[in-house]
Amino acid sequence: MSDDIAGRKITRRQLLWTPPAALGAALLADAPAYGAGRTIARICRSSWGGKPATGAYVPHQISRITVHHSAVVLRDNRKAPAQLRSFQADHQSRGWPDIAYHMLIDRRGNLYLGRPLSAAGDTNTSYDPTGHLLVLALGNFQVQEIPEAQLNMTVNVLAWACTRYRIAPSAIRGHRAYANTLCPGDRFQRYITDGTVERRVTGRLGTVTLKNLCGDAGRRRVRQIVNGTH
Site residues for Zn ion per CB under 5 A: 68, 175, 183
CA–CA distances in Å: residue 85 to residues 76, 92, 95, 198, 215: 16, 11, 16, 31, 17
3 neighbors 14 (Cβ within 8 angstroms): no
Residue 69 CB, nearest approach to Zn ion (Å) = 7
Please name the amino acid found at residue 145: E
Residue 176 CB, nearest approach to Zn ion (Å) = 8
> Three-class SS string for 54-108?
CCCCCECCCCEEEEEECCCCCCCHHHHHHHHHHHHHHHHHCCCCCCCCCEEECCC
Residue 134 CB, nearest approach to Zn ion (Å) = 8
Residue 162 CB, nearest approach to Zn ion (Å) = 19
Minimum CB distance to Zn ion smaller for 57 or for 127: 127
Phi/psi for 201 (5° steps) reads -65, -45
Beta bridge partners of 81: none
Minimum CB distance to Zn ion smaller for 175 or for 221: 175
Residue 118 CB, nearest approach to Zn ion (Å) = 20
Minimum CB distance to Zn ion smaller for 107 or for 175: 175
Minimum CB distance to Zn ion smaller for 142 or for 152: 142
The Cα–Cα gap between 69 and 137 comes to 5
Minimum CB distance to Zn ion smaller for 68 or for 204: 68
